[in-house]
Amino acid sequence: MNLFIFVCVLGFKVREEEEERGFSFGFCSLLPPMVSLSTWVRYFAHKLEYSVSLSWKNYKGGHITDREVGDVVWKNFFQGKLTYTHWNKGEEMAPTIAGKAATLLVRKLPNPDPTHVFVGDVVVMKDPQKPDNYLVRRLMAVEGYEMVSTDEKDEPFVLDKDQCWVVADNEKLKAKQEANDSRTFGPVQMTDIVGRVIYCLRSAVDHGRVHNSHFGMRKDLPVLEVELDVDEMAKSHKA
């Protein structure tokens, strides 16, 4: 109820500011008709959480002062988006991301811990072997999981705190030679994860939602309904 009141107050505040500039419309006209009010409430909740988390992260990193935190929170809330597009090349994630290239819609994750990203999610992460590059892989295990190899020569081990294990979906690739995942470079830090892939566009007529964990897909639904723009993705797609 409190969040609903917050959203309504937000809408009326924007309306008042616009009316002062010579515009006149109701709060409902601020929201696209194809998205329900309940979806917008959930979306705003996610956006507020993201804005606060990102601002706090920047504050702890020394990028902003304590006096700037509030302004940055509201700037991110009003002007920022929860998603961005990522160009992916290669067949490591086939059949989930079929074809040699695709434009992906990625949800930003300022706090990539086990409460925000889940086993089964397709994620964008920093390449541990090439810091300026990014990989798309599926998260298969997080801290506390025991890893047991099919190769008897490999000793079992438990993932340490903030560690995770990622793999390529394409089972046709040779695990340690072609997949370029944790079977090659080992465990990676959760902080290397920058986002969760929620939509994939291979062409203007071939696109769809990416299958993630149940928790991830449920959390991403309002974000997807509000921010997905297939036409814009198609325009930026590299044939």
Query: Can you tell me the distance from the alpha carbon of 33 to that of 30, in angstroms, rounded to the nearest whole number?
Result: 9
- Predicted local distance difference test score (pLDDT) of residue 152: 81
Catalytic residue, from 92, 138, 196, 227: name it. 92
* Separation of CA 80 from chain center: 14
pTM for the model: 0.84
Q: At 139, is the secondary structure helix, strand, or coil?
A: strand
The 10s digit of each residue's pLDDT in 160-213 is 999 999 999 999 988 777 889 999 999 999 999 999 999 999 998 999 999 999
Domains of the chain: 2-79 (no CATH), 83-236 (2.10.109.10)
Q: At 153, is the secondary structure helix, strand, or coil?
A: coil
Residue 92 appears among annotated catalytic residues = yes
The 10s digit of each residue's pLDDT in 4-63 is 434 444 443 433 433 343 433 333 344 555 889 999 999 999 999 999 999 999 999 999
Catalytic residue, from 137, 138, 183, 196: name it. 137
Q: At 26, is the secondary structure helix, strand, or coil?
A: coil
Name the pairing type of β-strands 193-203 and 163-167.
Answer: unpaired
> Is the pLDDT at 105 greater than 70, yes or no?
yes
Q: Which two tokens stand for residue 16?
A: 């008042």
Angle at 226 between CA 97 and CA 76, to 5 degrees: 100
Residue 232 appears among annotated catalytic residues = no
Please say whether the beta carbons of 184 and 176 come within 8 A: yes
